[in-house]
Amino acid sequence: MLKESIKEQILIKVKGEAFKKHPFFYLYDLSNITSKLELLNTYAADNISLYYAMKANSNFEILELIKKHPNVKGVEIASSGELDIALSHFKPLQVIYTGPGKRPYELELSLNNKIRFLSAESLTEVYRISELIEIHNLGKADILIRINPNYDIKNSLKKMGGISSKMGIDEDRIIDVLEEVLKFKNINVAGVHVFAASGIIEHKDLLEYVEYIFRLVSKIESICNREFKIIDFGGGFGIDYSCANKKFNVEAFFNHLKMLVDNFQYNNKELVLELGRFITAEAGYYISQIIDIKESKGKKHIIIGGGINHIRLIRKHPINIIPMGNRLIYDKQPAVKDEFVEIEGPLCFGEDKIDEDIFIKEANIGDLVVISHVGAYGYNVASLEFLCHPKPNEYVCCNA
Amino acid sequence: MLKESIKEQILIKVKGEAFKKHPFFYLYDLSNITSKLELLNTYAADNISLYYAMKANSNFEILELIKKHPNVKGVEIASSGELDIALSHFKPLQVIYTGPGKRPYELELSLNNKIRFLSAESLTEVYRISELIEIHNLGKADILIRINPNYDIKNSLKKMGGISSKMGIDEDRIIDVLEEVLKFKNINVAGVHVFAASGIIEHKDLLEYVEYIFRLVSKIESICNREFKIIDFGGGFGIDYSCANKKFNVEAFFNHLKMLVDNFQYNNKELVLELGRFITAEAGYYISQIIDIKESKGKKHIIIGGGINHIRLIRKHPINIIPMGNRLIYDKQPAVKDEFVEIEGPLCFGEDKIDEDIFIKEANIGDLVVISHVGAYGYNVASLEFLCHPKPNEYVCCNA
C-alpha cells in the first residue's frame, strides 16, 4: 500500500501545469533516503566508511542530501561524467573511482583532480596510472586492486564474482599481479577491492562472503609481507522488491561484522562500503496517468505514458493505482475491475511492458499508475531518447 | 568484411580531437541509405507511398537526406517529440502519426498542426480526436483505423499481430467499432492500418500477410458498404543481421504485390509503406577503441568504451577489428589471437555485453571494434544516461 504522505505529494505534482501535457514523473522521497542513512549510521562501526554509489541515481538533489549526511564519507563513481558531477558536490578526497575499462582520459582526469583513489581492475590500468603520474608530475597516488574472488555468493540478485569476468583480477593470479604492482615507485596499493554480487537479502550470505574476503586478504598480506589499510568489499545490501516483508538485517550484519573484524584483528583497517540501491531504491516512485485501456483477445491492456523510454524494469515492482474520478470519455469506455492485466508503455513494440499478468482491483482511463522501488537504476537506465518522447520530470519531496 | 571506403572514413574520424578523450562514435553511410531508397523507387508501383519510420533513427542529417529523396512521401512518427522533429524537416501533410497510447496533448498537437492523418488505435482515441476537432474548430480530420489482424505472420523478428496486443483493434471487433466510428461527422476514415510484424526476410511471408489484409479490407468494405482509399500495411522488410547473404527480395515483393493489387482491383488505392529498419540499419556503424583486454578463468574479455549506454544489441551483429598498431603499454600485455572471446562495455554490470563467444582472429588494446548494421534502433534505444558516460558522437559520411 502506498503511504498517505506519498499519495498527497503525488496529487500535488499532478495538479501542476507540466502534468497536463506530459502526465508522468519520478518522485523521490528524501525522508526515506535519510532514514536509510540513519539506519546505517546507527549500526556501522567506526572503521566502516560509507560511500554512495552514484550509478544508482545521480539526481542532484539526492546527491546534495547524501553529501550533507555526516555518516557519508563520499561518493563512488564509474565514469568521467560521474566524476564531473561528483566534483560539483563533493571534495576530491571524497571520491573513489571503480569500474572496468576506464579510458586513459578518465584515469588522467581522476589523477589530475587528486581524487581519493582509483580501484585498478587490471595490470593495464596500473601501468597507465603510473605513466600518467609521471607525465603530470603527480608524485605518488593511492590505488586499490580489484580482485575477482573464487567465491560464488549465495542468493544474490547479480553475480559479479566467481565467474569469468571483465571485473577485477582473478584470485588465482592476484599474488603474481600484486608482486608486480608493488614494485611501482609512484603507486601505493592502499588496499583491495572486491564486489562480488548485489541485491543480497540474507545478511548471513553476505557475511560468509566477507569472511571469505578477510581470509583471502590475510593470506595475501602474509604472502606479500605487507599490510593493506583498506578493504573495499563493495555493496550488496538488497532490497525486497516483492514487498514480502523480507529485509536486509542491517543491525545483525554490522554486529556480526564487528565480531569478524575482532576475530581477524582488523580494527585498524578501514572497511569501505559502496551502497547505491540500498540507499535510494525504496525512495523512488514512477507515476503516470493511464492513457488508454484496451481489451484484446480476452485480456485487458493498461497503457501508460512511459515505457522503456522512462523505466526499464527487470523484475516485478509494487504497483498501485490512484483513482482520479475522471469523467467518462464515452459510454462503453473499457475499465479494469478485479482482473489480471498487462501494464504497458506507449511505444509500438511488444517488449515495451511494465508488468504482465498483474492483478488490478480497479483502474480507469485517467487514473494514476504508481510504481514503487524505482529510486535506483530507474531514470538513469531508461532508454530516454527512444522515440523522442519527453523525459519524465524528477521531483523530490519529504525533506525533513 | 568492412568496405574499404568505410574503413577510410572511420580512420579519418579517429584522427579527430574528440576521439582522444572519448574514443567511440556512430558513423552513418548516407550512400547506403540512398541506395536503399533507389532500390525501393525502382520497383515500387505508383500507388505505393513510402514513409520513413523515424523511430529507427532520428538523426537530423539522415532525415534531411531522406526528405530530399523524390520517392519518399513523408515520415511516420509516434510521439510529440518526433512530431516536433518531423515538422522542422517535413511539411505537415507529409507526416503520419501511429502508435498506441497517444496522449491527449499529442493528439491535440497533431490536429492543430494539420498533419496528414493520425492512425487511431482505439475507440478512446477516436472520441478524443472528435472532441479536440470540435474544441479547436478544425472542421474534419482524416484518420486511419488500426486493426490487430488474426494472422500470425511467419518468420518475423517481432510479432505485432495475431496475439493479445496493446496495438490496434482486434479483427473480431473491427466491424462493430468501425460502424461506430463511421457515425462521427467530423472524422473521415480514410483507410485502415495494419502492422503485424517486423524484420521479415522472406518476401513471400510478407506477401501472404498482405493478401490476408487485402481480403480483410474487401470484407470490411463490403460489410460497411464503404470504400477505403488507403491501406497502410506497415513495414516489415527485414535485414540480414547474420550476413548470411539472405536479402529481402524487393523486386520480387513489389512484382507480386502488383499482381495482388491487380487481382483485388486495388489500383486506385494508396498503399502506405512505413519503413525504418530497412532504410537505415545497414548504413550504421558503432566504433570504439579497445580500452582493455583481460583474461579471466580461461576466457578473454575485450572491453570497449561503450556498452548498453551506447548500444543495446538484441542479436549478433557483424563485428570487425581494425588494427591500429599501438605501442605496447607493457611487455606481457594481453592480446587476442584466434580465439573465442567476450566483447563487453565498460559498465560494472555483467549484463553490459556486446557479444558472447565471438571468434576474433586478432585484437590488441587500442585497436578499433566496428559493429555493423546498427543504423536502426542503435543510438536511440541506448541507455544514454546510464553511468553518465559521454554520449557517442554521430557522424555521417559518403553523401554523393
For residue A197, the model assigns a pLDDT of 76
For residue B159, the model assigns a pLDDT of 61
Specify if B45 maps to a domain. no
Q: Which of A21, A159, A388 has the CB atom closest to B105's CB atom? A: A21
B300 plus B191 within the same structural domain: no
Specify if A105 maps to a domain. yes
A139 plus A264 within the same structural domain: yes
A305 plus A270 within the same structural domain: no
Q: Which amino acid is at B382?
A: A
Whether residue A341 is predicted with pLDDT greater than 80 in this model: the reply is yes
Interface contact flag, B348 A21, Cβ < 8 Å = no
For residue A157, the model assigns a pLDDT of 66
Please indicate if any CB of chain A lies within 8 Å of the CB of B297: yes
CA distance B83 to B88: 9
Q: Is A259 helix (H, G, I), strand (E, B) or coil?
A: helix
Rounded to the nearest integer, the mean pLDDT of chain A is 95
Q: Which amino acid is at A291?
A: I
Specify if B37 maps to a domain. no
Q: Say if residues B287 and B24 touch (Cβ distance below 8 Å).
A: yes
Q: Which residue carries 521479415 as its cell?
A: B200
Q: Say if residues B233 and B210 touch (Cβ distance below 8 Å).
A: yes
Q: What is the H or E stretch that residue A175 is in?
A: helix A174-181
Spell out the per-residue pLDDT of chain B, length 400, in tens: 899 999 999 999 999 999 999 999 999 999 999 999 999 999 999 999 999 999 999 999 999 999 999 989 999 999 999 999 999 999 999 999 999 999 999 999 999 999 999 999 999 999 999 999 999 999 999 999 999 999 877 766 666 666 899 999 999 999 999 999 999 999 999 999 998 778 899 999 999 999 999 999 999 999 999 999 999 999 999 999 987 778 999 999 999 999 999 999 999 999 999 999 999 999 999 999 999 999 999 999 999 999 999 999 989 999 999 999 999 999 999 999 999 999 999 999 989 999 999 999 999 999 999 999 999 999 999 999 999 999 999 999 998 7
B10 plus B123 within the same structural domain: no
Interface contact flag, A380 B389, Cβ < 8 Å = no
A28 burial class (0-12, 13-18, 19+ CB within 10 angstroms)? Answer: buried
Specify if A259 maps to a domain. yes
* Domain termination residue (choose one: A234, A259, A275): A275
- Reference B378, options B284, B296, B300, B254; nearest CA is B284
**Which domain CATH number covers A129?**
3.20.20.10
Q: What is the DSSP string of A302-335?
A: EEES-STTT---SS---EEEE---PPPSSTT---
B245 plus B109 within the same structural domain: yes
A348 catalytic? Reply is: yes
A271 plus A287 within the same structural domain: no
B354 burial class (0-12, 13-18, 19+ CB within 10 angstroms)? Answer: buried
Specify if A91 maps to a domain. no
For residue A153, the model assigns a pLDDT of 75
A308 plus A386 within the same structural domain: yes
Q: What is the pLDDT of residues A215-262, one digit of tens each?
A: 999 999 999 999 999 999 999 999 999 877 889 999 999 999 999 999
- Reference B149, options B193, B203, B190; nearest CA is B193
A124 plus A103 within the same structural domain: yes
A-chain CB neighbours of B276 within 8 Å are: none
Range of the domain at A212: 98-275
Please indicate if any CB of chain B lies within 8 Å of the CB of A304: yes
Q: Which amino acid is at A30?
A: L
For residue A108, the model assigns a pLDDT of 98
Which one-letter DSSP state was computed for residue A183? T
Which residues, numbered 322 to 381 in chain A, qualify as contacts with chain B under a Cβ-Cβ cut-off of 8 Å? 329-330, 332-334, 342, 344-351, 365, 379-381
For residue B163, the model assigns a pLDDT of 85
* Interface contacts (A, B; CB < 8 Å): 236
C-alpha cell at B134: 470540435
Q: How far is A293 from chain B, CA to nearest CA, in Å? A: 8
Q: What is the pLDDT of residues A173-187, one digit of tens each?
A: 999 999 999 999 999
CA distance B215 to A77: 59
Specify if B47 maps to a domain. no
Interface contact flag, B292 A345, Cβ < 8 Å = no
Rounded to 5 degrees, what are φ and ψ at A33? -65, -45
Q: What is the pLDDT of residues A252-292, one digit of tens each?
A: 999 999 999 999 999 999 999 999 999 999 999 999 999 99
A338 plus A392 within the same structural domain: yes
Specify if B207 maps to a domain. yes
Specify if B82 maps to a domain. no
C-alpha cell at B381: 534505444
Q: Which of B98, B166, B295 has the CB atom closest to A294's CB atom? A: B166
C-alpha cell at B308: 548498453
The 3-state secondary structure of B20-69 reads: HHCCEEEEEEHHHHHHHHHHHHHHCCCCEEEEEEHHHCCCHHHHHHHHHC
Interface contact flag, B345 A383, Cβ < 8 Å = no
Q: What is the pLDDT of residues B70-89, one digit of tens each?
A: 989 999 999 999 999 999 99
Q: Please give the angle made by the CA atoms of A307, A309 and A313, to the nearest 5 degrees.
A: 60
**Which domain CATH number covers B350?**
2.40.37.10
Residues 6+ apart with CB under 8 A from A238: A156, A157, A198, A199, A200, A201, A248, A277, A278
* Domain termination residue (choose one: B227, B255, B275): B275
Q: Is the dihedral of CA B375, B380, B386, B392 positive or negative?
A: positive
| pLDDT level of residue A155 (50, 70, 90 thresholds) | low
B144 plus B123 within the same structural domain: yes
Q: What is the H or E stretch that residue A130 is in?
A: helix A123-135
Q: Say if residues B26 and B395 touch (Cβ distance below 8 Å).
A: yes
For residue B161, the model assigns a pLDDT of 61
Q: How far is A263 from chain B, CA to nearest CA, in Å? A: 32
B-chain CB neighbours of A332 within 8 Å are: 123
Q: How far is A305 from chain B, CA to nearest CA, in Å? A: 7
Whether residue A159 is predicted with pLDDT greater than 70 in this model: the reply is no
A147 plus A19 within the same structural domain: no
For residue A161, the model assigns a pLDDT of 61
Q: Tell me how many domains chain B contains.
A: 2
* Domain termination residue (choose one: A260, A275, A290): A275
For residue B242, the model assigns a pLDDT of 83
For residue A156, the model assigns a pLDDT of 67
B296 plus B359 within the same structural domain: yes
Q: How far is B263 from chain A, CA to nearest CA, in Å? A: 32
C-alpha cell at A53: 554509489
Q: Which whole number is the average pLDDT over A359-368?
A: 98
